[in-house]
Amino acid sequence: MKILANDGISKSGIDNLTENGFEIITTNVAQEQLINFINENNIVGLLVRSATTARKDLIDSCPSLKLIGRGGVGMDNIDVEYAKSKGIHVINTPAASSASVAELVFAHLYGGVRFLFDSNRNMPLEGEANFKGLKKAYAEGIELRGKTLGIIGFGRIGQEVAKIALGIGMNVIATDKFLDKVTIEISISTGQSIKAEIIIQPFDKLITNSDFISLHVPAQQEYVIDSNVISKMKKGAGIINAARGGVIDEVALVKALDDGHLSFAGLDTFENEPKPEVKLLMHEKISLTPHIGAATLEAQNRIGEELATQISKLLK
């Protein structure tokens, strides 16, 4: 049976599937050619990340498909319920990349409060001629310890973010439409663990009381953070989006950064991927990454292995 990993899969995942009798194809097929490729090669399983979509037209046009897998959490690039109605298995790997995304959130947070994103742009240009000037410009950073982190969406990734925040001495508040309270367990290298209970707060309370906000929600029909919400945030707050593009009104975000209401933003996802707006890319108060939240070697290995285990169970 042939599996097309159109957006790639780790070697450990390939090895696992091969050992179980599957033929793995890792050719990256353009979206407009995907239907023909699947039919010509009698593909039974299509694996995607965020780049490839599996919509109704593909599902209807590819009778050989028995499974569609998403290497990651969100499945907004797959017509999940429609695929299931056609008898196609739809799987994802919700736990595999949580730690990697959470660590990226803190890369943006630490970079934000110490101006690293801007310093790394200007040091190569001015570091030799204007060292003292740059030192003065970046000398008013702040610590994360003791500050309040608001987490919007308290699923697996949000909880991993909370663990890091608590570990470095931050206060954590969270909001989630589907939870009342969550007990999280923080494991340390000695083998010991600490439990902490997080009470879910109303959205408005989180917005007004957070020094920093991190978003961990699926794709939305409307903005979660718009100009009205931003106006209620603390002056000087920072915001991180390592969730999905389109959950923040980017026009309102830029305005709030320009007028000083927000101090910085960290963006891993964008409304117009893969062509983010130039105003975002060039903004001196925005820390930027190209949708790499799950892109660590460890996460990709876990994703590949988890996909392989599910595929073998479902198709053999």
- pLDDT (average), residues 27-40: 97
153: left (phi over 0), alpha (psi -120 to 50) or beta: left
pTM equals 0.90
**CATH number of the CATH domain containing 112:** 3.40.50.720
pLDDT at 26 over 90: yes
Omega of the bond leading into 274 within 30 degrees of 0 (cis): yes
- Say whether both 180 and 279 belong to one domain: yes
- Say whether both 206 and 279 belong to one domain: yes
- Say whether both 231 and 158 belong to one domain: yes
- Say whether both 70 and 164 belong to one domain: no
Q: What is the mean pLDDT of the chain?
A: 96
- Say whether both 122 and 267 belong to one domain: yes
Give the model's pLDDT for residue 91: 97
Helices assigned H by DSSP within 150-292: 156-167, 203-209, 227-232, 250-258, 278-281
- Say whether both 253 and 311 belong to one domain: no
H-run or E-run covering 12: helix 11-19
Domain that holds residue 69: 2-93+297-315
**pLDDT tens-digit map of 134-179:** 999 999 999 999 999 999 999 999 999 999 999 999 999 999 999 9
- Say whether both 280 and 176 belong to one domain: yes
Q: Which of these, 310, 311, 307, 302, lies nearest to 1 by C-alpha position?
A: 311
List CB contacts of 267: < 8 A, sequence separation 6 or more.
240, 241, 248, 276, 280, 286, 287, 288, 289
- Count the domains in the chain: 2
Strands 43-48 and 67-70: parallel
CB atoms within 10 A of CB 14: 18
Q: How many CA atoms lie within 13 A of 15 on its CB side?
A: 6
- Say whether both 268 and 310 belong to one domain: no
Residue 249 Cα to chain centre, angstroms: 17
- Say whether both 235 and 301 belong to one domain: no
Better-predicted residue by pLDDT, 286 or 50: 286
The C-alpha atoms of residue 316 and residue 314 are separated, in whole angstroms, by 6
Q: What residues are labeled active site?
A: 244, 273, 291
Give the model's pLDDT for residue 316: 85
* Cα-only R_g, the chain: 21
Give the model's pLDDT for residue 261: 98
- Say whether both 109 and 241 belong to one domain: yes
List CB contacts of 76: < 8 A, sequence separation 6 or more.
218, 219, 244
**pLDDT tens-digit map of 101-133:** 999 999 999 999 999 999 999 999 999 999 999
Look up tokens 């595929």; give the residue: 311
Measured N-to-C along each axis, helices 297-315 and 11-19 cross at an angle, to the nearest 10 degrees, of 20
- Say whether both 196 and 211 belong to one domain: yes
- Say whether both 20 and 72 belong to one domain: yes
List CB contacts of 283: < 8 A, sequence separation 6 or more.
254, 257
Give the model's pLDDT for residue 25: 98
Q: 3-state DSSP helix/strand/coil percent for the chain, to nearest 5? A: 40, 20, 40
